[in-house]
Copies of this chain bind each other. A is one copy, B any other.
Amino acid sequence: MKPEWIAVDWGTSNLRVWAMGPEGVLAEASSDAGMGRLSREGFEPALLDLIGGWLGEGVMPIVACGMVGARQGWVEAPYRAVPCSPVAAGELLLVATRDPRLQVHIVPGLKQMTPADVMRGEEVQIAGALGLLRDFDGVICLPGTHSKWVHVSAGEVVSFQTFMTGEIFALLSGQSVLRHGIGKGWDEAAFDAGLSEALSKPEKLAARLFTLRAEGLLAGLSPEAAGSRLSGLLIGAELAAAKPYWLGQRVVLIGAPKLSAHYARGLAAQGLTAESLDITACTLSGLAIARGVLKKV
């Protein structure tokens, strides 16, 4: 197996790599060597751990995105300011490596000054989506730990907004007093109830959370229903606050399939049919675009 180049998605918690041939993916690997657990000296060895077997004698082009380019990452790749195209020629950052076979470029994230916001990694998925969709104008929603809503027009990211929904769900369901009554499993009716509560009265969210605990104690609310309603409440609150983004727009979701389905269900309850794209396909397509941009330079 001789890859032409290597695609790298390097987040806070995980490192994923793909050996890319002319027809697409030849092999893939991943580890938990995310940015969050590496010192500056740890990045090159962590990468070599996964791709060492794919290297030959020559120089291997590698394109990486995500938190690897953060201030606490391998090398800081300064944000580009919106409005701008999600990836751009001449803007990738070359990393100095000890191993001469590595030629690593990092795709910089995007920043928005007002209201202040940042992304790292999603810009590549957006570029990939634009490559897959052709002439897309509308809104891309990337649900996740930190969900992003992105307004795209004429090939540029015009504006975006981050919601901490996934992280807040993890903290409330795993570490707050609610954890005693929240379990795995899915209860669609409970999700819908939470969604509807939050969308119809988003200003009441703060008053809804503890009822999950109290209904568990007093009314036998099941752990599945409690977790699903919490998910509905938080996604509903996000959809309520993100309404200026999605109202009357074409919306494309890029995220883990289950989570994207929850967002699609929430939007459907508001009369909007969202499309979905595969997140890995978008990442690889975006990294390939970034590499193409690089080759033109």
Contacts and interface: CB of A to CB of B under 8 A. Distances in A.
Interface of A: 71, 79, 111-113, 115-118, 146, 161-165, 167-168, 171-172, 175-178, 202-207, 209-211, 213-215, 217-219, 234, 237-238, 240-242
B175 A168 contact: no
Contacts of A163: 206-207, 209-210
A206 B237 contact: yes
Contacts of A164: 172, 176-178, 206, 209-210
Contact of A237 (B112, B116, B168, B205): B205
Q: What 7 pairs between A and B have smallest CB-CB spacing?
A: A202-B203, A116-B214, A162-B210, A207-B241, A116-B215, A206-B241, A171-B171
Nearest to A12: B177
27 contacts: A79-B218, A111-B218, A113-B218, A115-B207, A115-B211, A116-B217, A116-B218, A116-B219, A117-B210, A117-B214, A162-B210, A163-B210, A164-B176, A164-B178, A164-B206, A165-B206, A167-B176, A168-B176, A171-B171, A171-B172, A171-B175, A202-B203, A202-B205, A203-B203, A204-B241, A205-B205, A206-B237
B207 A161 contact: yes
A251 to B, nearest CB: 17
B242 A211 contact: no
Contact of A210 (B146, B207, B215, B242): B146
Contacts of A172: 164, 168, 171
A116 B211 contact: yes
Contacts of A214: 111-112, 115-118, 162
Contacts of A168: 172, 176, 209
